[in-house]
Structure 1
Amino acid sequence: MTPEQKAGQVLMPFFAGTDAAAHAATIERLHLAGSIIMGDNVPVDARKQVDPAAMAATTARLAQAARADGRTWPGLIGVDQEGGMVARLGSPLTEWPAPMTYGAAGNTALTKDAGRAMASELAPLGFNVDFAPDTDVTIGPADPTIGARSMSGYPDAAGALGVAFSQGMQESGVLPAVKHFPGHGSVTVDSHQDLPVQPASIADLEARDWKPFRAAIGAGVPMVMTGHIAVPALEPGVPASLSAPTYAALRGMGFNGVAVTDALNMAAVQKRYPDGSAAVAALAAGADLLLMPTDVAQAHAAIVGAVAGGSLPAARLDEAAQRVATMMIWRGRTAAPPGSAPGAGADISARVSAAAVTVLSGPCSGPLVPGSVRVAGGSPQDRARFEAAAARAGLAVGEGPVVSLIGYGGAPAGGDIAVSLDAPWPLQDSAAPVKVALYGRSPGAFDALAAVLAGKATAPGKLPAAVGSFPAGTGCP
């Protein structure tokens, strides 16, 4: 490969809008590895739902562009599809609850089924990479970024569940990427806004944040994403994604796969590394795949120029390009199952929520409400879904106890029953005597809630992280 081809092979850009043809031309011109699909790239139909045929056509055009210079391996076509608040592809694809659901359910087999089912709907649309699962260990309400994206506040559980989800994804032909090394669940600043600092010692990181990554590496995960987090114990003031000691620590765990950066257009990096310098710095530090540089042409030119000028060793670019190519050659040789139709995972999604619903305070058996309830809070869609689920469970809506729904980032609630639909932290200060954590707002999640309220099902979930005075593990016996 020429230096220009190698530089392209380590870049995975984004684009604006739904003009795949223009983006394909950029991929061909710069020999790029492929592309990530963000929310504004998803074609929709007249009902504002994902158009599966048009989505597949878009990814096929981009994949074709990635092979235009004669390379024999597939291009990387990626997406962020975790479930919960991070899901670029909506209906008619299955809607999944937040990843914390898996920690509350505590069932690795069910988690693997979910990973397999999610990826089985992505693969027929042309995706071969999903930047999931999130294996960060959350510390609770002080964690402003990850929250319910974390599977658990227990390091061992986060590792086991992350491995199970990753293995399920790979069985459906989609490459997972565990994230965000060296751990984003225990810092108190959002790296989308600024650079968080992780003050923990290496010993503390080993005991908590690094455990899930060690488990994933031991299981052979193909990709690890590095986060934009400064760790003074490794290299003060430098985002881990651009820090050589961070990549040395990752490789020291036995990881031989592709190290991919978090999006390089995030504020934690963009404020400090202008004009393509982030791409060169990350590559020089040890990254193999550079995700979403602010200006991909500028980043490409900076890499080529740095190699030509001697400030970036040619061998480092060779190593990175070879790792990416090797992963995709392996993926191209691995037969994938035929895939599933959009929405095929709805039953598994509902089963996950039914296994996770958690009662923090209130009765553990029998109906929690009489035959009728009122609903407050949440979004209009949340309330409509609750009412539909209540009707399916035989509950009327209009009078009786107040069920207060707390959405993403919502405030503590009053009423008679407070229900968190994302991270359960607001329940700690909610005045309602009955507190329920649901970890999702999909139709299946609301069905699980309604069944518990009506006394037709128990709440088997356990808190995967502490919520105020409610310790991790709280739930019905």
Structure 2
Amino acid sequence: MTTEEKAGQVLLPFFTGKDVEAHAATIERLHLAGSIIMGDNVPRDPQGRVDAAGMAAINQRLAQATVADGDPWPGMIAVDQEGGLVVRLGTPLTEWPAPMSYGAAGNEGLTREAGQGLAGELVPLGFNTDFAPDTDVTMGPKDPTIGARAMSADPAAVAVHGVAFSQGMLAAGVLPVVKHFPGHGSVTADSHLSLPVQPAGVEELRGRDWKPFQAAIAAGTPMVMTGHIAVPALEPGVPASLSAPTYAALRGLGFKGVAVTDALNMGAVAKQYPSGSAAVMALQAGADLLLMPADVSQAHAAIVGAVKSGSLPPERLDEAARRVATMMVWQGRRGPAAGIPAGSSAAVSARVSASAVTVVSGPCTGPLVPGAVRVAGGGPGDRERFEAAAARAGLALGSGPLVNLIGFGGRPAGGDIEVALDAPWPLQGSPAPVRLALYGRTDAAFDALAAVLAGKATAPGKLPAAVGSVPAGTGCA
């Protein structure tokens, strides 16, 4: 490969809007590794649902562009589809609850089934890579970014469920990406906006944040994403994604796959390292794949220029391009994945929510409401979904105990029963006698909640993180 081709092989760009032909031309001109699809690229019908045939056609065109050079390996067609808050593709694909549901349910086999179901529905649309699962360990209320995207606050639980979800994805034919090394769940700033600082020393990180990554590496994960987090114990003031000691630490855990940066257009990097410099720094540090540079043409030119000037050793670019190509050769040799129709994993999603719903305080058996219920709180659409689920469970609406829904970033507001729809810790300040954690706002999650309220089902979940003085592991037996 020429230097220009190698430089393209380590870049995974985004594009804005629906101009697929222009993006395909850029992929061909710069020999790019593939593309990531963001929300504004997704074609939708008049009802706002994903146009599956249109999405498949877009991805097919982009995949064609990646092999225009005659490369014998497929291009990477990627998406961010974690479930919960982080999804680019909605209905008719199955809606999934927040990943913290897996930690609450505590069922490794169910987590694997969910990973396979979520990924399996991406395959007919042309995706072969998904930037999931998130294997960060959340520290609880002071974690502003990850929250219920984390499977648990317990490193051992995140390790088990992260591996299970990844294995399910691989079984479906989709490459998983564990993220965000060296750990984004235990910092107090959001790297989309600014550079968080991780104050922990290396031994503390090994005992907490790195455990899920160590488990994923031992299980053969193909890709690990580095986050835009400064770790003074490794390299003060430099985002991990651009830090050679961070990549050395990752390789020190035994990782031999593709190290991919978090999106290089995020605030933590783009403000400090503009005009292609972040791409070169990441490669110099040890990254293999550079995700979403703010301007992919600038990044490509900067890499080629750095090789020609000698500031980027050609051997480093060779190593990075070879790792990416090797992974995609392996992906291609696995053969075409069968895929499953959009929406066909709805029953698995429902089982996840039914297994996760947790009693934080209140009775474990019998109806929690006397046949009728009122509802308040929540975000757009939450009350409507709750009311529909309550009606399906045979509960009358408009009288009886008040159920207050707490959405993402919400606060307790009183009521007879308070329900956290996302992370459970907002329940900490609630005076309600009954407090429940749901970890999701899908129709199936509200059905699970309504079944518990009506006494038609028990709540088998266990808290995956402490809620004030209520310890992790609390729940009904």
Question: Structure 1 length normalisation: TM-score?
Answer: 0.99
The residue type paired with residue 193 of structure 1 is L
Tell me, in whole angstroms, the C-alpha distance in 2 between the residues paired with 1:442 and 1:467: 23
SS in 1 for 2:236: strand
**Counterpart position of 1:317:** 317
Corresponding position: 1:186 with 2:186: yes
Identity of aligned residues (%): 76
Deviation at 1:448, TM superposition (A): 0.4
Alignment of 1:273-422 (within 5 A): 273-422=273-422
Quote the offset at 1:359 in angstroms.
0.5
Deviation digits for residues 206-227 of structure 1 (CA, Å, limit 9, x no counterpart): 0000000000000000000000
The amino acid across from 2:160 in the alignment is A
Q: Which amino acid aligns with 1:159?
A: A
Is the Cα–Cα contact under 8 Å of residues 80 and 132 in structure 1 kept in the other structure? yes
1:148 correspondence with 2:148: yes
- Range with greater deviation from structure 2 (376-385 or 313-322): 376-385
Hey, what's the Cα distance between the residues in 1 that align with 2:338 and 2:413? Answer: 46
* Structure 2 stretches lacking a partner, 5+ long: none
Partner of 1:245: 245
Cα distance in structure 2, aligned partners of 1:412 and 1:399 = 21
Opposite residue 117 of structure 1, the aligned amino acid is G
Q: How does 1:179-218 map to 2 (within 5 A)?
A: 179-218=179-218
8 Å CA contact 1:224, 1:259 repeated in 2: yes
The match for 1:13 is 13
User: Would the aligned equivalents of 1:20 and 1:58 in 2 still touch at CA under 8 Å?
Assistant: yes
Q: Distance in 2 between matches of 1:422 and 1:183?
A: 20
Does the 8 A contact of 1:6 with 1:321 survive in 2? yes
Q: Which amino acid in structure 1 is aligned with residue 301 of structure 2?
A: A
Alignment of 1:107 onto 2:107: yes
Question: Cα deviations across residues 436-473 of structure 1 (Å, max 9, x unaligned)?
Answer: 00000001100100000000100000010111111111
Conserved in 1, the CA contact under 8 Å of 2:143 and 2:187?
Answer: yes
Q: Which residue does the alignment assign to 2:232? A: 232
Shift, 1:408, TM fit: 1.1
- After TM superposition, what 4+ stretches of structure 1 lie above 4 angstroms from structure 2? none
Distance 2:269 2:247 in 1: 17
Matched length: 477
Provide the C-alpha distance between the structure 2 equivalents of 1:168 and 1:232, rounded to a whole number of angstroms: 35
Contact 1:171 1:336 in 2 (8 A): no
**2: distance between equivalents of 1:290 and 1:187?**
23
Shift of 1:335: 2.5
One-letter amino acid matched to 1:273: Y
One-letter code of the match for 1:424?
A: P
Letter in 2 for 1:204: E
Q: What's the CA shift for 1:339?
A: 1.0
Map Cα deviations across residues 127-167 of structure 1 (whole Å, 9 max, x no partner).
00000000000000000000000001110110010000000
Q: Secondary structure at the match of 1:180?
A: strand
Letter in 2 for 1:11: L
Question: SS state of the match for residue 78, structure 1?
Answer: strand
Check the 8 A contact 2:123/2:337 in 1, yes or no: no
Take 1:136 and 1:397, find their aligned partners in 2: how far apart are those partners?
Answer: 39
- Cα separation, 1, equivalents of 2:94 and 2:129: 18
Greater shift in the superposed pair: 390-399 or 350-359: 390-399
| In structure 2, C-alpha distance between the alignment counterparts of 1:132 and 1:336, rounded to whole Å | 20
Distance 1:397 1:419 in 2: 17
CA displacement at 1:433 relative to structure 2: 1.5
Contact 1:413 1:427 in 2 (8 A): no
Separation in 2, partners of 1:412, 1:191: 27
Question: TM-score, normalization: structure 2?
Answer: 0.99
Deviations 1:2-50 (A, max 9, x none): 0000000000000000111111011011000000000101000111110
Which residue is 1:32 aligned to?
32
Q: What amino acid does structure 2 have at the position aligned with 1:192?
A: H
Cα distance in 1 for residues equivalent to 2:311 and 2:211: 35
- 1:468 is aligned to 2:468: yes
Give, in whole Å, the separation in 2 of the partners of 1:312 and 1:87.
36
Q: Deviations over 1:257-283 (max 9, x none)?
A: 000000000000011101100000001
- Partner AA of 1:107 in structure 2: N
Corresponding residue of 2:449? 449
Name the SS for the 1:373 alignment partner: strand
Q: Is the 8 A contact 1:360 1:437 kept in 2?
A: yes
- Say which is worse superposed, 335-344 or 323-332, in terms of deviation: 335-344
CA contact (8 A) 1:172 1:336 kept: no
Distance 2:169 2:77 in 1: 15
Output the amino acid matched with 1:170. Answer: L
Within 1, Cα distance between the matches of 2:338 and 2:284?
39
Q: Match for 1:185: what amino acid?
A: G
Partner of 2:53: 53
Q: Which moved more, 1:453-462 or 1:371-380?
A: 371-380
Where 2:373 maps in the other structure, the secondary structure is: strand
2: CA distance between counterparts of 1:380 and 1:230? Answer: 35
| Alpha-carbon distance in structure 1 between the residues aligned to 2:469 and 2:411 | 17
Q: CA RMSD in A?
A: 0.7
Distance between the aligned counterparts of 1:395 and 1:336, measured in 2? 47
Q: Distance in 1 between matches of 2:311 and 2:37?
A: 32
Counterpart amino acid of residue 55 in structure 2? M
Distance 1:91 1:121 in 2: 11
Unaligned runs of 5+ in 1: none
- Corresponding residue SS for 1:27: helix
Shift of 1:337: 3.7
| Contact persistence 1:135–1:159 (CA under 8 A) | yes
Cα offset, 1:413, TM superposition: 2.2
Separation in structure 1 between the aligned mates of residue 169 and residue 257 of structure 2, nearest angstrom: 17
- How far the C-alpha of 1:245 sits from its partner, in A, is 0.4
The C-alpha deviation readout for 1:184-206, integer Å capped at 9, x for no partner, is 00000100110000010111000
Would you say the 8 A contact 2:38–2:80 is kept in 1?
yes
TM-fit CA distance, 1:430: 1.7
Identify the residue that residue 79 of structure 1 maps to in structure 2: 79
CA positional deviation for 1:336: 4.2
Q: 1:196 and 1:142 mapped to 2: Cα distance? A: 12
Structure 1 residue 431 displacement after superposition: 2.2
Q: What is the aligned partner in structure 2 of residue 119 from structure 1?
A: 119
Q: Deviations over 1:226-259 (max 9, x none)?
A: 0000001100110000000000010011100000
Three-state SS of the structure 2 residue aligned to 1:191 is: coil
Instruction: Give the equivalent residue in structure 2 for 1:262.
Output: 262
Secondary structure, aligned partner of 1:329: helix
